[in-house]
Structure 1
Amino acid sequence: MRNAMDEVRLVVQPTVSHYRAPLLKALLEQQVLPLSLLGRYANSEDRQSRNHIRSASAEILRRVDELKFREWRNLRWERGVVPSVLRGEYRAYVLEGRVYTVSTWLALALGRAKKTPVFLWGHGWKRPESGLKRTSRVAFYRLSSGLLVYGDRAKEYAVSVGLDADRIAVVGNSIYATQDLIDHAVPNRPSTEEDFTVIVSVRLTSRHRVDMLAEALALMSPGGRRTRVIVIGDGDQAETLRESFEQAGVAAKFVGAVYGAESLAPYYAVADVAVSPRASGLNIVQAMGFGRPVIAPEIDPTSGPESELVVDGHTGLQFPLDDIGALARALQSLRDDPDAAVRMGQAARERVLRTHTAEAHSAKIVQAVKGWLDRDR
């Protein structure tokens, strides 16, 4: 039986949701660094029940201790974390890098005082900050023994405001295991297909701006291929969006929430391109993993670092934020050049298989934490 003092206590970021299951499985199965997982089971983007995020399977939940918490507005207190650090129950801790979690501030301070390493894991900076917000976040991160972030821009900005580059590791993000992507690979779309099919896979909330896609498709000049849309996801804007596509004269099929590579593969198999109008995240990793190019905004303060995977002209196309005309032109260019869409889709899949599988994600987390622990021994 393992001794807890040899283990690293890792808080799952952000929650023990269905899309975290492949990563959690990889973390639990790796043999390099003994881990004990703790995570929140409550998975909701907001208080609308239709925006609820499905939890991981019962098998995964059995292997992750439940993290109880209380919230008041933006502030959160995670129960049990501070007493555990105070007692020194684990060799080190990896906590969610959420600046509004009061218990994490105290855990970081206690870790410093007791010489117990406390690392942070999260997005880091999604956008530049100033004033008290930036000062608070810099102080928060400086208390940690190391910072795990999802993307390169977060690290670059952290270094620009004075944080130590050697204490920041870019670990990426993931949604599927390598074998899932191999087992459920979809063929390239033939250039002779009569339909030009656009797929969008997001939670159907106002922040994701799927209505922009309807407007952009209505602006496209006529072409030789019929345009249709597959909308994957559910949320409180579903009915409004149905009306938007209908008014735009675009054939849109709403299939609801779909989970798992096996269930999603048939939809991506008939799609030419994926679009993420706003608030991009793991939907980019999903689409690229299935070998589809992604059209997304150049710089979007509501998007996660996964948007960095969209390299204009290589793994997809970018358009200026909220520029519906530019989005229409990007769609039209791939409709009229299906070979380019296939080429970008192949590059997109290769990138995800190389850097954004659950195994790659797990390895980067473990390598960074173990490296810091070994260096500080």
Structure 2
Amino acid sequence: MKQQAMLVSELLPHYRYGVFKALEVNDSGTEWSFAAGNSDRAKSIPTIERNLLQTTFALQNRHLPKGLLWQSGLLGTVRRRRPDVLVFTGDVSHLSTWAATVLARFQGAKVFFWTIGWHRPERGLKKFTRMCFYSLAHGLMLYGETGKRIGNEMGYPNKRMWVINNALGSSLNAASAKDMDPATLEAFRQKLPSGGTTIGVVVRQNASKRLDLVIRAAAEMDRRGRPVNVLLVGEGPEHQALKSLARELGVALFMPGPAYSQQELDLVYDRLSLTVLPCQAGLAVMQSLERGVPVITDDAPYTQAPESDAVRDGETGARYTAGSVSALADAIETWLGRLEASPATVAQRCKKEIEEGWTPTAQAQLIETVLLRNEEAP
């Protein structure tokens, strides 16, 4: 008899469609179903139409004060369906997950939490609560190595943690797949640098992203006799301040606004030699490496997103000393040299990183591997 697995989530987010479909067509014989409510608290995340998945169960999300959630119908669904495996999105604020995990284990099911885990070390009541919650599961499926490392520091058993990465791409993102009007696309193209070496990033222009460091590093490169253009694609509250800084330092800055379509993004990454995101590197890492463009970001241990794990120092990019303009300029200079020497090799390594660990198919395979390893475990 095939193993029955159920994934329980607050909702069915559009960006998980690729992974969910890859799970449905897995080679291990596991039959998957999906139980979820209809929306998040803010009703801001587009969801997957339930008829696009083979088996779904509708839950009612009851959003409580202080960010807590109870999913009505979850306990009944678990009791009636009795799946062999339950995978919850492991959010400690989901009170119904606590109860459903206890019920599932009482029924003999394996339980796993799919979660980002720890952002940074915790103490006191917060540490105690998270550890109690995570101890209910047979194990954790984590987004990245940082969460696993901190989990070890917090005392969670290493043998009960597996890194499954975070998949890039969703075939439901129809808006980005549509062809743009040629005139609109050409207008966007005209806002990009037409020659010279270009560094930059596609990201919202917030103060927390420290995009000023990209401009300051470009000024340092100019002083070293290696001038570069800076291309910052996006919008945000730091827009004017960044323009003023570039003007003050004499840096060639291009700011074409946001890029939403794949065609616009392809144009951007065709211009970029390097993606330079000084800190908090997330989705931009995926977009860049997928197109063969290496990434430079900082080495801060607790402020990076899980996707930054794909930046492998010396292979798919570099980690520089956080906050140091000279260290950032050194990394840029080193990688521009590598790109001049072997551009095809660099691009191949970047694309391979995404293909082997960060696609929906790759993530589904990692999830299935966790389940197979634990099928006979107590």
TM range (shorter): 0.7 to 0.9
Alignment-mate amino acid for residue 126 of structure 2: K
8 Å Cα contact 2:200-2:214 kept in structure 1: no
User: Is 1:24 matched with 2:20?
Assistant: yes
2:6 maps to 9
Tell me, in whole angstroms, the C-alpha distance in 2 between the residues paired with 1:207 and 1:61: 38
Q: Relative to structure 1, is the Cα distance of residues 66 and 219 closer, same or farther in structure 2, using a 3 angstrom cutoff?
A: farther
Shift, 1:299, TM fit:
2.3
Moved more, 245-254 or 271-280: 245-254
- Residues 51-77 of structure 1: per-residue CA shift (max 9 Å, x gap): x66x36658866666663515334333
Q: Aligned letter for 2:136? A: L
CA distance in 1 between counterparts of 2:11 and 2:115 reads 8
Distance 1:299 1:119 in 2: 29
Q: Structure 1: which 5+ residue stretches go unaligned?
A: 179-192
| Distance in 1 of aligned mates of 2:238 and 2:202 | 14
CA distance in 1 between counterparts of 2:40 and 2:223 reads 43
What amino acid is aligned across from residue 218 of structure 2 in structure 1? L
Matches within 5 A, 1:329-340: 329-335=330-336, 338-339=339-340
Equivalence map 1:117-266=2 (5 Å) = 117-176=110-169, 194-222=195-223, 227-235=228-236, 241=242, 245=246, 248=249, 249-260=251-262, 264-266=265-267
RMSD of aligned alpha carbons: 3.6
Q: Distance in 1 between matches of 2:305 and 2:314?
A: 20
Alignment-mate amino acid for residue 349 of structure 2: A
TM-score (norm 1): 0.78
Higher mean C-alpha displacement, 61-70 vs 319-328: 61-70
5+ long unaligned stretches in structure 2? 172-193
Structure 1 residue 364, shift from structure 2 partner: 0.7
2:310 aligned residue: 309
> Structure 1 pair 130/362, CA: closer, same or farther in 2 (3 Å)?
same
The counterpart of 2:96, out of the listed 92, 98, 103, is: 103
Q: Find the counterpart in structure 2 of residue 187 from structure 1.
A: none
Q: Look up the equivalent residue of 1:22 and give its one-letter code.
A: G
Partner secondary structure for residue 195 of structure 1? coil
Q: Are 1:223 and 1:336, in contact at CA under 8 Å, matched by a contact in 2? A: no
> Is the partner of 1:73 in helix, strand or coil?
helix
- Counterpart of 1:73 in structure 2 is 66
Normalising by structure 2, report the TM-score: 0.77
Q: 2:375 maps to which residue?
A: 373
How many residues are aligned here?
A: 351
Q: Deviations over 1:159-181 (max 9, x none)?
A: 45443333322212220489xxx
Counterpart CA distance in 1 for 2:141 and 2:223 is 47
User: Which AA in structure 2 matches 1:258?
Assistant: Y
Higher Rg: 2
How many angstroms apart in 2 are the aligned matches of 1:331 and 1:14? Answer: 41
Give 3-state SS (helix, strand or coil) of 2:279's partner.
coil
- 1:352 matched to which residue of 2? 354
Percent sequence identity over matched residues? 26
Match of 1:252, SS? strand
